[in-house]
A and B are shown apart, each in its own frame.
Chain A
């Protein structure tokens, strides 16, 4: 019977292989997981945008009310301005920096690479505090900016600091998997340096460049921590959400602004789809990795450039570190270590720090596994466009969501009495899940960028050799992408150490986090102790990063030897 049926099948329709089926199943599972940790919690809050404060369904009444306030337009315009300016500064800056790290021979390259990551190690409170120490009305360089630091200037400077490593991380990944043969060919054909740059380097990094721009733009649009500390009267959409939710407990209006904020994400998603179609694999099976050769002029230029950027980053960090030792700024500048005795400033003392460590470790493990396997499934599954589109969209969402919208959504979704998952509410697990979801996008993008640069030939060859696809994953794909995998793990770890806006709604008596404690301490006026806690967080993440560099060296030596000639 079965034979007869299969005989009647049109000969061209080759059935799905076992690999294809398992991959598709994996994609469906991934979509379900993302729906649970991103889609449904978000909807739990955003749905409130269609209800009045008593929970009655009111269609678009809240939207009508919101769009008729003149302040909305101002906030939207301000958000756009800040995000656009920051993106225009950060992306070229990061590109040059990433280019220097990957394509020039720098002395102390590892040091420059490490410094470029410092801002990501710091809670967003840190640049705000440091800038006030530097340029505030009592600051060392007050007046240097020709106006007060509070407002547009302050937000943009702090955002540049805060977004720089995010863009650099993506661009280093994009630039480090180049095929040396292309450059050799261009060289042999006598192409000018400029021409090579525009026809080989830029197209190869295009996906990374656009990803970086999208990430920076949406990061700025959704961040309220910086705007809150240093924004002055400069209203942006994210502070509007804060006013509605924290100031007035008006979840309906908060949901409306949250929905407006999703517009950039939708745009990012469309742009990404368009670009993706054109991206070609860089690292073909026959590729030869590019190893930069010393060249004096270029190397000098890039060393100078990287030094300049590094000094800027270190100045902000150094100011915060010094501020953390000051007794009572600006009236008593004697130095003390007293600000590091956190029990005097926050009841949870050092406990919150250890909670943060556990949370960050959990987020790094769970987050890396999920984002990498997820990105791999989504990249390497053949066909199945609709479901993969759903996954891609859900992976993009978290980036565009302000933390407090996600945090509140988690309360509504995971605390619902009829949700079978509500046992994880008020535990460490929900903090881990929330953080993984919150930072899913960049992990996903980094993994995808790395995966895209691997020739699909690897899979085809494996398939023709009847090697199951998971073995190719374990033996070829994952080892090739190991640097990117470690990058994602570190990214998850350090963000878990610094995140505030979402987890502030979710911690329980035993699970308060250091980043939240820092915000509480700052609100209580003890700026120096808040700076001190920020510094402890920076040192921790920097130490973890140093371990990563060591591991990278070792693993790169063992697993990536094939990259070298």
Chain B
């Protein structure tokens, strides 16, 4: 009995402690609070939120932001009891995966007819609508190149030359979506057989397969590596910060992916969610995307952010998104067998 009292006291104390720390955000009187999951870059969160809320004063955006892999895993894990209202800014392939699991509320945003067809799911109503495209480019550190007398590559074919031995990093496609779209891009451009042959040769020059799509261009920017194959926008922003790098779009063409918007099935704020989906397809929104990305969904919006590679859109590979999704397991298994298992001793 006395023991129980002690236990109960301890439990009460615990509950009080939990309650004290658990006073997370109290109700916002009349405003609808939309929980929006996203993987857009940190610096975009504030401007995007402000711009939308200025046009929709009765709706407030509450972001949950992490990397594409973490957000996709979280969304799928929450499938039976979704917590997000809208996904604004996640890889279209992730949203496609969610759509095939019945997790998306189909909705065609007002005005989305204007957008480039490639930026839409093609379903009626749409499951997702694209915002902007990002490319897997080559980030080349010019300072290190000068130091070590290395020529600047212009094509994928250049990258397999012996002078780049151990000086390339790229994302591991088994850990990173950017890695997978890079590999899928090669297989599309070159065809399967030649594509794998190219990767066999490239493997000789790769010093590391990294676990994130941003890391390769960041490492190239900091001179940790001569060449990084990875997420273009990160390379451009590093260059803006003063990194001695050039962003190269290889002339054969390159893999790409887009960020897109979708409404989560089961949202309790469907009306507000639709407003956000409408807004995310608007001209204004596309102009905002254009501040960060060169290729956006709205054909009328012409943009060229600082230090962005120029001819990216022309060289985008004709990748088949469905093909990419269907063949993912097979390609990753083959890739892992060829390069991942034997990669360890190379680190020495």
Q: Which chain A residues have a beta carbon within 8 Å of chain B's beta carbons?
A: 18-19, 22-23, 25-26, 29, 69-71, 74, 78, 132, 136-138, 147-148, 150-152, 228, 232-235, 239, 242-243, 245-249, 251, 328-332, 344-347, 358-359, 361-362, 365-366, 369-370, 373, 408, 411-412, 415-417, 422, 424-429, 432-433, 468-470, 474, 504-505, 507-511, 516, 520-521, 523-525, 527
For B221, list chain A residues within 8 Å (CB): 525
Residues of A within 8 A of B267 (CB): none
Specify which chain B residues have a CB less than 8 angstroms from the CB of A347 in the assembled complex.
42, 45-46, 63, 65
Contact B42 A520 (CB under 8 A): yes
Q: Give a binary string over B11-46; 1 marks a CB under 8 Å from any A CB, 0 the rest.
A: 001100111111111000000000100000111011
Q: What is the minimal beta-carbon distance from B267 to any residue of chain A, in angstroms?
A: 15
Residues in chain B near residue A148, CB distance under 8 A:
207, 347-348
The reply to whether B63 and A432 contact each other, CB–CB distance below 8 Å, is: no
Give the secondary structure class of B's interface: helix
Q: B77 touching A411 by the CB < 8 A rule?
A: yes
Instruction: Please name all residues of chain B whose beta carbon is closer than 8 Å to the beta carbon of A344 when the two chains form the complex.
Output: 43
Kindly identify, within residues 133 to 172 of chain B, every residue whose CB is under 8 Å from any CB belonging to chain A.
143, 172
Residue from the list B25, B66, B81, B207 in contact with A417, Cβ < 8 A: B81
Tell me if B3 is interfacial: C-beta within 8 Å of chain A.
yes
Query: Which chain B residues lie closer than 8 Å to A417 at the CB level?
Result: 80-81
- Chain B residues contacting A424 (CB-CB under 8 Å) are 22
Other contacts beyond A331-B242, A428-B22: 5, CB < 8 A: A23-B3, A242-B175, A330-B223, A365-B17, A427-B22
| B residues 192-241 in Cβ contact with A at 8 Å | 207-209, 211-212, 214-215, 217-218, 221-225, 234, 237-238, 241
Q: Return the chain B residue nearest A330 by Cβ.
A: B223
Residue of B nearest to A345 (CB): B42
Asked whether, in the complex, the Cβ of B25 is within 8 Å of the Cβ of A510, the reply is yes
Q: A429, B22: Cβ atoms under 8 Å? A: yes
**B74–A411 contact, CB under 8 A?**
yes
Contact residues of A: prevailing secondary structure: helix
- Across the interface, do A74 and B344 meet the contact criterion of CB distance under 8 Å? yes
Q: Looking at B25, B45, B347, which has the most chain A CB atoms within 10 Å of its CB?
A: B347
| A511 x B3 contact (CB < 8 A) | no
- Please tell me if the beta carbons of A246 and B73 are within 8 angstroms of each other in the complex: yes
Q: Of A69, A345, A415, A470, which one neighbours B78 at CB under 8 angstroms?
A: A415
Q: Mark B316-348, 1 if CB is under 8 A from A, else 0.
A: 000000000000100010001100110110111
B2 within 8 A of A: yes
Q: Tell me, in angstroms, the Cα distance from A370 to B13 when the chains sit together.
A: 11
Q: What B residues does A511 contact at CB under 8 A?
A: 24
Given the complex, which residues of B lie within 8 Å of A510, measured CB to CB?
24-25, 62
Is B108 part of the binding interface, using a Cβ–Cβ cutoff of 8 Å? no
Does B76 make an interface contact (CB < 8 A)? yes
Q: How far is the CB of B309 from chain A (nearest CB, A)?
A: 17
Q: List 22 A-B contacts (CB under 8 A).
A: A29-B7, A69-B336, A71-B337, A137-B224, A137-B225, A246-B67, A247-B176, A249-B72, A330-B223, A331-B242, A369-B10, A422-B81, A424-B22, A469-B3, A474-B6, A508-B83, A509-B25, A510-B62, A511-B24, A520-B65, A525-B214, A525-B237
Interface flag for B1 (CB, 8 Å):
yes
Is B83 in contact with A415, judged by CB distance below 8 angstroms?
Answer: yes
Q: Is the CB of A74 within 8 A of B4?
A: no
Q: How far is the CA of A232 from the CA of B237 in the complex (A)?
A: 24
Is there contact, CB below 8 Å, between A366 and B17?
Answer: yes
Q: Specify the chain B residue showing the minimal Cβ separation from A327.
A: B242
A235→B344 contact, CB < 8 A: yes
Contact partners of A504 in chain B: CB under 8 A: 66, 70
B70 close to A408 (CB less than 8 A): no
Instruction: Report B-chain residues with C-beta under 8 Å of the C-beta of A239.
Output: 175, 211
Partner of A245, one of B73, B78, B348: B73
Q: On chain B, which size bracket covers the interface?
A: 35 or more
Judge whether B248 is part of the interface by a CB distance below 8 angstroms. Answer: no
A72 to B237 alpha-carbon distance, docked (Å): 38
A416 & B73 in contact (Cβ 8 Å cutoff): no
Contact A432 B18 (CB under 8 A): yes
Q: How many Å lie between the Cα of A452 and that of B243 in the bound state?
A: 58
Cβ contact within 8 Å between B234 and A524: yes
A74 in contact with B347 (CB, 8 Å): no
Partner of B174 from A234, A243, A416, A516 at Cβ < 8 Å: A243
How far, in angstroms, from A525 to B73 measured CA to CA in the complex?
A: 22
Report B49-93 CB contacts with A as 1/0, cut-off 8 Å: 000000000000011111101101110111011010000000000
Roughly how many angstroms separate A61 CA and B64 CA in the complex, as a whole number? 35
Q: B244 contacts the other chain (Cβ, under 8 Å)?
A: yes
Interface residue? B113 (CB, 8 A): no
Does B269 have its Cβ within 8 Å of any Cβ on chain A?
Answer: no
Q: Does A246 lie within 8 Å of B42, measured CB to CB?
A: no
Q: Report the separation of the CA atoms of residues A71 and B344 in the bound assembly, to the nearest whole angstrom.
A: 10
Q: A26-B3, A29-B7 are in contact. Are A525 and B234 (CB under 8 A)?
A: yes
Contact A523-B2, Cβ < 8 Å, known A138-B223, A428-B22: no
Contact yes or no, B347 A233, CB < 8 A: yes
Q: Which of B7, B208, B218, B244 is A232 in contact with, Cβ under 8 Å?
A: B208
Which residue of B3, B45, B83, B175 contacts A247 across the interface (Cβ within 8 Å)?
A: B175
Nearest B-chain residue to A469, judged by Cβ: B3
Cα–Cα, bound, A18→B4 (Å): 11
B143: which A residues are within 8 A, CB to CB? 331
Nearest residue in A to B41 (C-beta to C-beta)? A524
C-alpha spacing A505/B177, complex, angstroms:
18
Residue of B nearest to A364 (CB): B17
A203 to chain B, nearest CB (A): 34
B contact residues around A361 at 8 Å (CB): 17, 21
Residues of A within 8 A of B332 (CB): 248
Nearest CB of A to B172, in Å = 7
In Å, the complex CA distance between A114 and B214 comes to: 37
**Min CB distance, B203 to chain A, in Å?**
11
User: Among B19, B69, B244, B347, which residue has its beta carbon within 8 angstroms of that of A246?
Assistant: B69
- CA distance in complex: A349, B244 (Å): 28
Complex Cα spacing A152 to B347, Å = 8
- Given the known inter-chain contacts A331-B242, A331-B243, please indicate yes or no for A25 contacting B4, CB distance below 8 A: yes
Given the complex, which residues of A lie within 8 Å of B238, measured CB to CB? 525
Closest 7 CB pairs of A and B: A151-B347, A22-B3, A509-B62, A246-B69, A362-B21, A233-B343, A525-B218
B226: min CB distance to chain A, Å: 9
Residues of B within 8 A of A232 (CB): 207-208, 347
Q: How far is the CA of A234 from the CA of B177 in the complex (A)?
A: 20
Give Cα distance in the complex from A429 to B25, angstroms: 13
Q: Which residues of B contact A509 (CB under 8 A)?
A: 25, 35, 62-64
**Bound Cα distance A332, B238 (Å):** 13
Q: Are A71 and B215 in contact (CB under 8 A)?
A: no
Closest-by-CB residue of A relative to B342 is A74
Q: How far is the CA of A262 from the CA of B36 in the complex (A)?
A: 35
Q: Check A328/B3 contact, CB under 8 A, given A366-B18, A525-B214.
A: no
In whole angstroms, what is the CA distance A511 to B21 when docked?
A: 10
Minimum distance in angstroms from A489 CB to a CB of chain B = 12
Is there contact, CB below 8 Å, between B214 and A524? Answer: yes
Closest CB-CB distance, B93 to chain A, in whole Å?
A: 11
User: A319 to B261, alpha carbons, bound, how many Å?
Assistant: 42
| Residues of chain A within 8 A of B73, CB atoms compared | 245-246, 249, 251, 408, 505
* Most chain A beta-carbon neighbours within 10 Å: one of B23, B174, B176: B174
Chain B residues with CB below 8 A from A78, complex form = 344
